[in-house]
Amino acid sequence: MSNLPTLPVTFRPGRTRVVLLTAGVVILLVISAVAMLLDQLGPGERLSFILTGALVFWVLAQLARVRVVADDRGVTVVNIASRRRLDWAEIVQVNLRPGDPWVFLNLSDGTSLPALGIQPGIDKQQAIADARTLRILAEARSVRDPEAPTEQDQG
């Protein structure tokens, strides 16, 4: 298939990432400025304001780090608090249904893994294109059991 991207490829919610990181920087700067401008605050209180701003920035940065990385051997899904490595053969289906907050990967063990790196929140068309690309990659690279029934056989 000539329309497959060159691997490795990283999928991440670009616009959402920009919004989160920008908001984090602005919040940190505003809270720090307030801490410095309030004369009645002592050094410890100023520090606690700045640390609170830094904590808010850190949380938003964690939300912004989500991604899905596809390479020759498989896919790495980085979500807010977890990272999981999958072989191509483990991915049975890539789903992004209307109303879904992000892509779900149906896995060969019967479970489903959310992949927050592809989410339609701010840029729906990009998420749809990324989900389609990941689906094509998974279908092209997964090793299917030729004896296993397909959806066409069951329907």
pLDDT, one tens digit per residue, over 98-155 is 999 999 999 999 999 999 999 998 889 999 999 999 999 999 987 654 454 444 444 4
Q: What is the pLDDT of residue 91?
A: 97
The β-bridge partners of 74 are: 87
Q: Would residue 58 be called left, alpha or beta, if left means φ above 0 and alpha means ψ between -120 and 50 degrees?
A: alpha
Under 8 Å CB-to-CB from 66, ≥6 apart: which residues? 12, 13, 78, 79, 80, 116, 117, 119
Contact 138, 94 (CB under 8 A): yes
DSSP 72: S
Q: What is the pLDDT of residue 141?
A: 87
Q: What is the pLDDT of residue 143?
A: 60
Dist. CA 88–CA 152, nearest whole Å: 22
pTM of the full predicted structure? 0.79
* Block residue for tokens 């700067």: 29
Q: What is the pLDDT of residue 121?
A: 87
